[in-house]
Amino acid sequence: MTERTGAGRHAEIAGAGIGGLTTAAALAQRGWSVTVHERAPNLRTFGAGIYIWSNGLRVLKAIGAYEQAVVGAHIGPQFHTRDHHNTTMEEIPINAQGDARLITILREQLINSLVDTCRRSGVEIMTNSEAVGATSEGELLLADGARRKADLVVGADGINSKVRDSLDLMMYRKHLGYGAIRMLIGRDDADVPAEDRDRYIEYFTGTRRILYTPASATDLYVALCCAADDAAALKVPADRALWTESFPHLAHLVSRFGDAGRWDAFEVVKLKKWSKGRAAILGDATHAMPPYLGQGGGCALMNGLGLAAAVANAADIEQALAAWEERERPITEHTQDTAERLGDMNFWPDDLRSQVMKITGKSRELGAERMKTARHAPTATEPLA
């Protein structure tokens, strides 16, 4: 294929998730024609909430999705970590002047804002269109046998990415022995004390956690976290008697768990390279991580915009992709590694974890490491107003 620059170039993207849609919108806004392939019959997403820190908000603003994405968002004053006695081990202030901002919204709202931004930008989105591979020469291979030629192919098709695997880019995929049942329920003032209602709170007991996350004025996102071999705790629907026994101070909240929810195992994925020839990989296919920093979506947003900025007018796509990885991979892997280390405490004895976290929670250095990604200035963005 003859090299072209700027307008007139075409991209084929597998996956209409956060990373794929962000890349699509950003490329289209830079003069590219873009087609996104989604294997599902529609663009609805699993009902849960999502954390978006300042770095992700800056990307949403840069591509014109911010105003729609944040409608009705919840803005909490602090993030608390509580021990088995319901005593606060750590309190992280957020949304304070000069510090990192954080909102929580419904994942469906974020996807809808990205879809609408793509469509306004001229992106074609094809549902019931499954990608099964790609070539380094710039072809996306579909399940129906079609071979879609492009100047750039992007695999944003999730942790089980067929595009990534067809290019032999995997370095390793590690199961962390832990995971969560995620669900969305209505908010109820009796779930927690009045002073806690707007906070984001993570409660620990043994190897189990409950994450309490207001996602809007009416929606509460709950994650029930446990070890992957904790068969009783990972059952769906959630065993309300079991979770009440572990968290008696949350009995009212637990009593409202319905039959919904989905168990997801936490994993880490790292690649030998993020690209091969004219094919690039991003999102969970590239940098799956446990959710302890709330940055899986944020990294997908950053890397999607960064990719579009890197290749937009590049004379050589392959060189541009190498430069993109060199620029974006360090902050992404810092985020992965920090999140993975935070998961180590899942298996500590309660008293030890409580003592250690009360000490580390006061460390400015450790706090700065945890907040580094949230305070990062992503490529091609400007500060939030």
pLDDT of residue 7: 63
Sequence-distant (≥ 6) Cβ neighbours of residue 286 within 8 angstroms = 164, 269, 271, 274, 303, 332
Plot region of 18 (φ>0 → left; ψ -120 to 50 → alpha; else → beta): alpha
Looking at residue 10, its amino acid is H
- In this predicted structure, the answer to whether residue 3 has a pLDDT above a threshold of 60 is no
Angle between helices 107-120 and 18-28 (to 10 degrees): 20
Two structure tokens written together for 136: 């380094």
pLDDT mean across residues, the chain: 94
Q: For residue range 257-311, what is the model confidence (pLDDT) as tens digits?
A: 989 899 999 999 999 999 999 999 999 999 999 999 999 999 999 999 999 999 9
Element at 283 (helix H, strand E): none
pLDDT of residue 97: 53
**Could you write out the DSSP letters of every residue in 304-343?**
HHHHHHHHTT-S-HHHHHHHHHHHHHHHHHHHHHHHHHHG
pLDDT band at 135 (very low <50, low <70, confident <90, very high): very high
Rounded Cα gap, residues 222 and 211, in angstroms: 6
Q: Under a CB-based contact definition with an 8 Å cutoff, are residues 191 and 49 in contact?
A: no
Question: Among 40-49, 83-92, 129-138, 179-188, whose mean pLDDT is lowest?
Answer: 40-49
**Could you write out the DSSP letters of every residue in 191-215?**
SS-GGGTTSEEEEEETTEEEEEEE-
pLDDT of residue 340: 96
- In this predicted structure, the answer to whether residue 46 has a pLDDT above a threshold of 80 is no
Average pLDDT over residues 41-45: 81
- In this predicted structure, the answer to whether residue 323 has a pLDDT above a threshold of 70 is yes
pLDDT band at 63 (very low <50, low <70, confident <90, very high): very high
pLDDT band at 98 (very low <50, low <70, confident <90, very high): low
Rounded Cα gap, residues 295 and 332, in angstroms: 9
Q: Identify the burial level of 51 via C-beta atoms within 10 angstroms of its C-beta, where 0-12 means exposed, 13-18 middle and 19 or more buried.
A: buried
Strands 33-37 and 10-14: parallel
Question: Among 19-28, 93-102, 133-142, 371-380, whose mean pLDDT is lowest?
Answer: 93-102
pLDDT of residue 367: 84
Q: For residue range 67-97, what is the model confidence (pLDDT) as tens digits?
A: 999 999 999 999 999 999 999 999 888 876 5
- In this predicted structure, the answer to whether residue 350 has a pLDDT above a threshold of 70 is yes
184 phi, psi to nearest 5 deg: -125, 125
- In this predicted structure, the answer to whether residue 32 has a pLDDT above a threshold of 80 is yes
% of the chain at pLDDT higher than 90: 88
Rounded Cα gap, residues 130 and 330, in angstroms: 31
